[in-house]
Amino acid sequence: MNQFHAGNIKNIAIAGHHGSGKTSLAEALLHKAGASDRFGKITDGTTVCDYDPEEIRRKGSLSTVLAGFPYEENWINLLDTPGMLDFVGEQLSGIAAADTVLITVSAKSGPRVGTRKAYDAAQSLGKSTMFAITKIDDKDANFYNVLTELKTVFGPTVCPVVVPVIEKGEVTGFINLIEMKAYKYGADGKAEEIPMPDEVTSEHDYRLEGLKAAVTEAVAETDDALMEKFFEGEEFTQKELIDGIHNGMNKGLISPVVCNSALTLAGIDMLLKEFGLLVPAANEVAPATAEAGDDITEIACDAAAPLAALVCKTVADPFVGKMSYIKVLSGKLSADAQVMNSRTGAEEKIGKLYTLLGKKQTEVRTAEAGDIVAAVKIGALTGDTLCAPERVAAVGMPPFPHPCYAMAVRAKNQGEEAKVSAGMQRLTEEDMTLSYTQDPNTKEMILSGLGDQHLEIAVSKLSAKFGAEVTLSVPQVAYRETIRKKVEAEGKHKKQSGGHGQYGHVKIAFEPCVSDDLVFEEKVFGGAVPKNYFPAVEKGLQDCVKKGVLAGCPVVGLKAVLLDGSYHPVDSSEMAFKMAASIAYKEGMRAADPVMLEPIETLVVTAPDDNTGDIMGELNKRRGRVLGMEPADKGTTTITAEVPAREMHDFALYLRQVTRGVGSFTMEFLRYEPLPANLLGEVIASIAAE
């Protein structure tokens, strides 16, 4: 394979709402460019990018896939990202690795939540953007309505470049507004130039002159000299239009809009052409920012500079092992090289390097600055920076959403816990929005992600890739028990069974206190209980507080004072006094007005202004207490509340439904509070059933 340099490498992530045609567009681009022999279809499970068995079964993308191919004088790295909200972490990985984000928008449904999220992610990471309006051949498509919506939602940077000619509701041709040429496409997807029409639609919602003026005005905004020429009424040359849009994209001033049909390949050749002309090359984008010790430095895309490469994605493969997508930011990455991991400070041995076309791997010896390649079986994790020893720097990945939906995990087959654990470790290395931890209170293994579908697919992958079967259940709530009044209780353990007997006798005062652990004191006078038995009494109580008298939950906020007792010079022992303490504990707890405690958490929800009333009503239903509201960014409001953990297990699913995926929240443990009396029976029954 020919070596491409940074000036000829275009890194493009395809992102957008689920179902907007991302993978179909990628397939059409690969087929039209000659990178794939056959034109695969999602329904048949034959696309280049959706090759995972789970993706084929579900007919949708679940992870970001790299497909690199040459086209004319450029090397194009396409990163096909998933659009489902549960897999936004994968989308962020793809956008972080790219330099330009191509956002697909269905000509039927227009911009949706996923469109906005993809655009916002691109903007926050400083990536240039362009829009591809897909499914233009559909009978319900309305390109010009969608174009209007894009301008309304994303502002004046939206600039039409390729538009359809529509007559009587049918697309009869396409106009390239830079060339000012019109084309029609045959059944084979080949373009044929046709005469320029007088108007783009018979309804005149959009006029050709107005579309051309929109392009000219957008280009004029990118440069003072072009603005002066625009005011003087001079027409821009084709080169000035191309350079203006190219520079405008790189500065974030222009988001070109093209249209196409992946099904018929109409407009795909023009999109490939725009990749070459308009999309910034790897060495034209802003340098990456990195931390070098206490300093902040910039990593310019220069093949002659020391190596800096970002591990932007990890793939867990049971056969190949761990595969890492690596974007070379500067310098050259060579196979068999020794590099430094800036996070660990350890050396990493790079084995073989590959370019990827979906699952097809092509071995390469070297990757230059700007390129994206894959390495296998290296120790680096997603977000690590691989460096030359002479310049150790860490380039950050974007913050990933925090897992917000959790389920308890149990191995289906006894003895497979180790296999489950090993598989989960591999999956969490692959997916930065997935976590697998043990709850320190309930000792359950908890799998957390961004939604029910996220966890369902993780479990399916665990079974398919690593042969570990698990079941999911609602996690236990870490209830506690305590007492509300002071009591004194007596415990006597006396047993005679021939030979030495057992004798221990204690009198203990139990009272509430502020402490998570048992507070033990002794106030024994006159040696009624010898000092050498004090530790046994305390140990007996420590064992007892692990289980309360109501539902067997751990006891907190308990102070025990040893007041009195008696002993036998022959029959008394540490075990006897432990048993006596246990008897006193059970008697005292029952008499001390025991109460169940439930965990209360601080909830911070950010949601659209239109949904705040619904959310506050829902929090009230869930026994939450709203503490306050304040405006957030872009028409959203932040609500702060205190909520019982018992009621919040499925709140992530509710919030996604009511806000259509726009809302987000965080939740942190705050304190314990008494459980309402009307719920006590239900909670005790649920704990007994576990």
Query: Is 282 part of any domain?
Result: no
Q: Are residues 456 and 492 in the same domain?
A: no
Q: What is the CATH number of the domain that holds 152?
A: 3.40.50.300
Span 615-638, mean pLDDT? Answer: 93
Which residue would you say has higher pLDDT here, 123 or 170?
123
For residues 425 and 506, membership in a common domain is answered with no
Question: What's the pLDDT at 571?
Answer: 84
Residue 336 in any domain: the answer is: yes
Is the residue at 491 inside a domain? yes
Band of pLDDT at residue 204, cut at 50, 70 and 90: low
Residue 1 lies in a domain: no
Summarize pLDDT for 18-55 with one digit per residue, the tens: 999 999 999 999 999 999 988 989 988 899 999 988 99
Question: Does position 108 have pLDDT exceeding 60, yes or no?
Answer: yes
Residue 54 lies in a domain: yes
Residues 652 and 521 in one domain: no
Q: What pairing do the DSSP bridges indicate for beta strands 558-566 and 181-185?
A: unpaired
Average pLDDT, the chain: 92
150 is a domain residue: yes
Per-residue confidence at 452, pLDDT binned at 50, 70, 90? very high
CATH number at residue 563: 3.30.230.10
Say which range, 8-12, 436-440, 525-529, has the weakest mean pLDDT. Answer: 525-529
pLDDT band at 409 (very low <50, low <70, confident <90, very high): very high
Q: Which of 473, 496, 520 represents a domain boundary (last residue)? A: 473
pLDDT the model gives residue 500: 74
Distance from C-alpha of 322 to C-alpha of 55, rounded to nearest angstrom: 19
Residue 435: which CATH number? 3.30.70.870
Residues 72-94 pLDDT 10s: 999 999 999 999 999 999 999 99
**Can you give the pLDDT at residue 98?**
97
For residues 199-219, average pLDDT: 84
At 626 the pLDDT is: 95
308-322, 493-507, 537-551: which is most confident: 537-551
pLDDT of 521 above 70: yes
Q: Are residue 510 and residue 600 in the same domain, yes or no?
A: no
- Interval 577-591 mean pLDDT: 94
- Picking from 544, 559, 592, the residue at the C-terminal end of a domain is 592
The predicted model gives 476-503 an average pLDDT of 88
Does residue 449 sit in helix, strand or coil? strand
The confidence score (pLDDT) of residue 109 equals 93
Report the pLDDT value the prediction gives residue 550, as an integer from 0 to 100: 93
Of 205-209, 525-529, 645-649, minimum mean pLDDT range:
205-209
pLDDT at 311 over 70: yes
Mind spelling out the 3-state secondary structure of 206-269? Answer: CCHHHHHHHHHHHHHCCCHHHHHHHHCCCCCCHHHHHHHHHHHHHHCCCEEEEECECCCCECHH
Determine the pLDDT at residue 295: 85
Helix (H) or strand (E) holding 512: strand 502-512
Which of 418, 439, 473 is the last residue before a domain boundary?
473
* CATH number reported for the structural domain that contains residue 613 in this entry: 3.30.70.240
Distance CA 467, CA 461 (A): 9
Query: 362 with 386: CB under 8 angstroms?
Result: no
Please report which confidence band the pLDDT of residue 316 belongs to, taking 50, 70 and 90 as the band edges: confident
DSSP 609-662: GGGHHHHHHHHHHTT-EEEEEEE-SSSEEEEEEEEEGGG-TTHHHHHHHHHTT-
506 in the same domain as 622? no
Residue 308 and residue 441 in one domain:
no
Confidence of residue 540 (pLDDT cuts 50, 70, 90): very high
What value does the mean pLDDT take over residues 589-615?
94
* Percent with pLDDT over 90 in the chain: 78
Q: What is the pLDDT of residue 12?
A: 98
566 and 602, same domain (yes or no): no
Domain carrying residue 429:
405-473
Domain at 293, CATH number? 2.40.30.10
Residue 498: per-residue pLDDT: 63
387 class by beta-carbon count within 10 Å (0-12 exposed, 13-18 middle, 19+ buried): buried
Tell me, yes or no, whether 579 and 603 share the same domain.
Answer: no
Enumerate residues 6+ apart whose C-beta is below 8 A from 500.
570, 571
Q: Which amino acid is at 367?
A: A
Check pLDDT > 60 for residue 1: no
- Helices (DSSP H) in 485-559: which residue ranges? 534-544
**In terms of domains, do 46 and 144 share one?**
yes
Residues 6 or more apart from 666 whose CB is under 8 A from it? Answer: 402, 404, 603, 604
CA distance 108 to 160: 18
Instruction: Specify whether 364 is located in the same domain as 414.
Output: no
- Checking if the pLDDT of 328 tops 90, the result is yes
Residue 652 in this model has a pLDDT that exceeds 80: yes
202 vs 173: which has the higher pLDDT: 173
Q: Is residue 400 included in any domain, yes or no? A: no
pLDDT at 198 over 90: no
253 and 230 both lie in a single domain: yes
Residue 170: per-residue pLDDT: 87
| pLDDT at position 477 | 94
Instruction: Confirm whether 283 is domain-assigned.
Output: no
Cα–Cα distance for residue pair 184/189, rounded to 1 Å? 9
Evaluate if residue 272 carries a pLDDT over 70: yes
Q: Total domain count for the chain?
A: 5
> Does 85 share its domain with 122?
yes
Q: Which of 194-203, 497-506, 580-589 reaches the highest mean pLDDT? A: 580-589
Question: How many residues comprise the chain?
Answer: 690
Closest CA to 675 of 601, 616, 617, 600: 600
